Structure 1
Amino acid sequence: MPLYIKVLTDYYHFLVGDLEEARKVFLMQLLEYLLLKDEYGYDPFFEGESERVVFLLKRIQEEEVPMSFETYIKLQTWHREDAWSDGELQEYFLHQRKGKEVKIMFDFDNASSEEIEILEYLNRFLEGKGRKFQVLNIHNARYVDVSELITEIKNKGCC
C-alpha cells in the first residue's frame, strides 16, 4: 500500500475524531523528520507522493477540522489525477458541517477553471443532500449561493 494511502486514511480518521493518540504522535514525528533541513541547511523538496504525504501531515499538525475548502480542492485534484472515486471525499468534507448551510471563504475571482468545476461539482452534491452551499463574496462581505456565483462566472465567459 502506498504511503500516501496510509496517511490519507489516517487523515480521514483524524477528521472524524478517532485517530489514536499514539498514531498521531508518530505521524507528527514523521513530519518533523521529513521537514529537517539537510546538512547544508537547505529545506527539503517534495514532489509526487512525498508532497502529498507532507501536505496531509501538515493538515493534521494544524488541527484543521473541519476540512478546509482549499484542502478539499487539493484532494479532489489528486483524486482526479489518479482516476479514483471521490464519494467519500465529499462525506469527509461535510463531516463536521452539520447545518443546512455550508459556508466557505474562497477567492473565486482568481480561481482556475478546474477549481470552478470542482466548486460546481461539490455544489451539485450538496444540493442532492438538500444543503445550501454559499461562498463569501469578499467585495461586499456577504454570502452568495454557489449556484448564483457559478451562473455569474459562466455568464462572464470566464470558465
Structure 2
Amino acid sequence: MPGWWISGGREVFYSMERVYSVEPNLRHYGCMVDLLGRGGRILEAEGLIRGMRWEADVAIWGALLSGCRSWGDIEAAERVVRVIQGLDPTNHGVHVVLSNMYAEAGRWEDVVSQRKAIKEGSLNKTAGWSAVAGDRNHKTANVFSIYTTRSSRTRMR
C-alpha cells in the first residue's frame, strides 16, 4: 500500500474534528485501523484503538488482527487475540487465525496449542455453506426456457 494513502487517510481522519468539528465514530476508527494495519503500521493502529474515547468492539480489533496476519506480526496478534477473547469468549475465528500464523512461521507447538484450545473450549469451526436461488420471475428468466427448448430440438434432429 502506497505511503501516501496512509498519510492522506490520516490527514482526513484527524481533520474531521480539527477542521470540520465532526467527531469520528466507530466506523471512522475502524477504517483508520484497517488502513494502518494494511500499511503495516500495526503499533500505530493499536495505539489509535487504545486512545479511543470509548471501548473498541470486536470488529475494530478484528481489523487490527487482519493487519497483523498480513504482516506476520505474531506478537501483536497474540495481544489482539487476548483482547478479542475478553470481549467475545466464544469467538473461535481468532484462534484459527493465530494458529495459521503460527503454522506459517513454523511454530508447530503453538499450532497444536491453539487447536487444543479450540477443541477444549468447544469452539469448533462452523461449517460454511451457500445457496443460489433461481428467480424465474426475473426479466431474463425466459432465456432459460428458450435455451431448453432449442437444446431439446437440437437433440431431436
Same fold (TM over 0.5): no
The structure in which a higher percent of residues are strand is 1
Shorter-chain TM-score range: 0.3 to 0.5
* Structure of higher CA gyration radius: 2
Q: Which of 1 and 2 has higher RCO (CA within 8 Å, sep 6+)?
A: 1
Q: What TM-score comes out, normalization by structure 1 length? A: 0.40
